[in-house]
Chains A and B, each alone.
Chain A
Amino acid sequence: MHASVGDRIVIRGHRVGDPDRDCELLAVRGKDGEPPYLVRWGDTGHETLFFPGVDATLEHFEHPTA
């Protein structure tokens, strides 16, 4: 997974009826856009490290050009 600051990561629910979860990518801690990522979880604003697995998908944020 290659991510950029501002991207959104969505984690699908693991059980029937579980909601998907999402977080905002604040910083890339690995090399060349690789994990781990520093992320912020929407509702609570908590910041954690995130190590994406097969249950996570990336939604790129289109950075505005000058």
Chain B
Amino acid sequence: MRTIDGVRRSGVGIEPQHTIRDAAAIMEQAGVGSLAVIEGDRLVGIVTDRDLVRRGLARGLPADARVDAVMTAPVVTIDADADLHDAFALFRTHALRRLAVVRGEQFVGMVTVDDLLVDLAADLHDLSRPVSAEVLSAHHDSGLPATT
């Protein structure tokens, strides 16, 4: 399975000169918890709702401060056609909750731990169904075949 197949949500990108206030409003309007920061065609950072709080509000930055003052850079990325298990390794190595998915240098979306966990939970449920059915349901033997 390719990494791009694990992307469950649309991505939203803003320019570095957007303000922290703009970023918060866009997250609320778009219903997302993170934004890609894009300069020209190039991904230069990621800003999350947590960044706005911890690096912005908690440090007393004004609401009109630029978003590149609180974004995470450089960005840990994964190629859209990479195996999805490569993303698992990156999540583990970097202790991240989301990865930017790229084609070349172009951002195409985000893959998140939350979405992958939901998918895995659904798969585990499917696999456990025959096992739980065997444990919970009474066995009905068909009986020995007639010999006469």
Please give, as numbers and ranges, the residues of chain A lying within 8 Å of B25 by CB-CB distance.
44, 46
CB distance from B26 to the nearest CB of A (A): 5
CB distance from B34 to the nearest CB of A (A): 12
Q: How many A-B residue pairs have CB under 8 A?
A: 63
The residue in chain A whose Cβ has the minimal distance to the Cβ of B28 is: A44
The interface residues of chain A, by DSSP majority, are classed as loop
Listed residue (A41, A50, A53) with the most chain B CB atoms within 10 angstroms of its CB: A53
**A48, B10: Cβ atoms under 8 Å?**
no
CA distance A36 to B25 in the complex (A): 20
Known A14-B31, A44-B25, A46-B22; contact A51-B107, beta-carbon cutoff 8 A: yes
CA distance A35 to B101 in the complex (A): 14
CA distance A35 to B10 in the complex (A): 11
Query: Is the interface on chain B under 10, 10 to 19, 20 to 34, or 35 or more residues?
Result: 20 to 34
Residue-by-residue, is A5-46 near B (CB-CB < 8 Å gives 1, otherwise 0)? Answer: 000000101100011010100000000000110000111101
> In the complex, which of the residues B11, B35, B38 contacts A53, with contact meaning CB atoms closer than 8 Å?
B11
Check if B109 is an interface residue, CB within 8 A of chain A: yes
CA distance A41 to B10 in the complex (A): 14
CA distance A14 to B114 in the complex (A): 12
Check if A54 is an interface residue, CB within 8 A of chain B: yes
Known A14-B31, A41-B30, A48-B26; contact A55-B9, beta-carbon cutoff 8 A: yes
Please give, as numbers and ranges, the residues of chain A lying within 8 Å of B14 by CB-CB distance.
48-49
**A51, B13: Cβ atoms under 8 Å?**
yes
Please give, as numbers and ranges, the residues of chain A lying within 8 Å of B29 by CB-CB distance.
21, 41-44, 46
**A18, B13: Cβ atoms under 8 Å?**
no
Please give, as numbers and ranges, the residues of chain B lying within 8 Å of A14 by CB-CB distance.
9, 31
User: Which residues of B approach A to under 8 Å, CB–CB?
Assistant: 7-14, 22, 25-26, 29-31, 35-36, 38, 107-109
User: Which residues of A approach B to under 8 Å, CB–CB?
Assistant: 11, 13-14, 18-19, 21, 23, 35-36, 41-44, 46, 48-56
Closest 7 CB pairs of A and B: A49-B13, A51-B11, A53-B10, A41-B29, A56-B10, A21-B31, A53-B9
